[in-house]
Amino acid sequence: MIDLLTPLLKERKTLLLGFGREGQSTFRFLKKHFPEHPVSIADRDPDLQAKAADLLTGQGPTLHLGENYLDSLKHYQLIIKSPGVGLPEDLQPAPGNLITSQTQLVLQAYHRQIIGVTGTKGKSTTSSLIYHLLNTAGIPAALVGNIGRPPFDYLDNVSPTDRIVFEMSSHQLEDTMLAPRISVLLNLFPEHLDRYPSLEAYYSAKMRILSGQLDDDIFIFNEDIPGIAGRIKEVNAKRAYYSFSSGLKVKNGCYISGSRIILCQEGRESVYVESTDHYPLKGDHNRMNMMAALLAARLAGASDDHIRQGLATFQGLEHRLEYVGEYRGIHFYNDSIATIPEATIAAVKALPATDTLILGGYDRMLDYSGLIDFLVQSGVINFIFIGQAGGRMLEGFKAAGKPDKNLFWTDNLTIACEKALEVTRKGKICLLSPAAASYDQFKNFEERGNVFKKLVKGEQFS
């Protein structure tokens, strides 16, 4: 990475655009390896200097803060952008100027070592599972990206033979011209419609994980994605293609038959996993994640014995169908990471004993009609709605006219948990699976999940 950055930084005024987790990571890396190179920062937050005082000490960088922070771009020749920052569509850098990102730079420097994972849901679980399978096989690896670990934080410890498992959001991919050596596309559902001008724009950002690959790179994809064959054909790329499916027999890859995972190699089939019921990851969606992960691990050099061992020992992620415990005879599960309807549907299917479901949060105007149609036919009896998204879901439930469902609305999670303790039958499940983002009341889904766990355990806020 040092060799790549040295000519880029030479005689270019450098701006970090966005100073969240990734921007701060870039700042630390540049200050460590290029301490004499001046770096400036642009961010929408007018109070950034006080909030990041531990980093912005001494003389510090030049800061461009507040609503007009994008005006500063014209004064810099190298702009390293954070994935959460959107740029005007008509922005055209001057000749010789460069807008890049951590993701793009890491892909340029470590392309052949990277296993990239994207999709609307399942990215964190699948990335973590691939990392676990590689570790089980004794293959050195780092886990970075959208899962919360900026890749620059790990570069000093990455050797030329290490694998880099990179969870990639659409926001990270939209800034790239290159894609990983091994790319995994899990699924495509409507999401981030508050950021993208259209659903197709969001899907196009995701598809960069294929279109940016080099010839003979490896693309692993979900064959059940509607229209995926057409999207692959549009790219018209020479790749090694592997796929996985919930039931469709594939040429190269995996598919589900009952509770078994079948491995297909050039039309030859063999049973890879005899019964997924015996593994810790539960639910149809996690069987898809398991297939994607095992294919990626096999192609990265892990043996089948090590992969099966890893599948059996992986315990899943915090905030994703996480068992909180039994309290007052009720089983509580934290699925705060479920921020879209499809994730909540998958959670309810995975936990059929769910009696009470807590839904809602920040309203990004997602289409909840499919979720409501599913839930009114489900065995869930009690629905507790929170926030504006919850209010909109509640109106949809009322319009569906199901008198056998108990519907409640509240404006905060504390009251929701109190109501859940009151209405959930003993021996049954109370599930937090919001189908909505958290940032109306919480800074992220992790904070929402942690608060939920404290509440059901009867703990006080720290």
With respect to CATH, is domain 322-456 assigned 3.90.190.20?
yes
**H-run or E-run covering 45:** none
Lowest mean pLDDT among 18-32, 165-179, 314-328: 314-328
Q: Which pLDDT does position 193 carry in this prediction?
A: 57
Find the DSSP H helices in 137-198: 170-173
**425 pLDDT tier (thresholds 50, 70, 90):** very high
For tokens 């929701």, what's the residue? 416
Pair of tokens at residue 104: 């793009």
Instruction: Estimate to the nearest angstrom the gap between the alpha carbon of 218 and the chain centroid.
Output: 21
CA distance 206 to 219: 13
Q: Is 190 strand, coil or helix?
A: coil
pLDDT tens-digit readout, 96-122: 789 999 999 999 999 999 999 999 888
Q: Is 281 strand, coil or helix?
A: coil
Instruction: Estimate to the nearest angstrom the gap between the alpha carbon of 143 and the chain centroid.
Output: 13
Count of residues making up the chain? 462
CA distance 242 to 294: 11
CA distance 338 to 192: 14
Distances from the Cα of 8 to the Cα of 13, 37, 53, 461, angstroms: 10, 12, 28, 47
53 or 289: which carries more pLDDT confidence? 289
The class (CATH top level) of 104-313 is alpha beta
Cut 0.75: pTM above it: yes
Minimal CA–CA distance to 418: which of 382, 450, 376? 382
Topology of the domain comprising 2-96: Rossmann fold (3.40.50)
Return all residues near 50 (Cβ < 8 A) that are at least 6 apart. Answer: none
Find the DSSP H helices in 226-332: 228-235, 284-299, 304-313
| Helices 102-110 and 21-33, packing angle to 10 deg | 60
Name the amino acid, one letter, at 434: P
Residue 148 reports pLDDT greater than 70 = no
CA distance 351 to 360: 19
Q: Which pLDDT does position 462 carry in this prediction?
A: 34
> Residue ranges of the domains in the chain?
2-96, 104-313, 322-456
Q: How far apart are the first and last CA of the chain?
A: 41
The pLDDT mean for the chain works out to 91
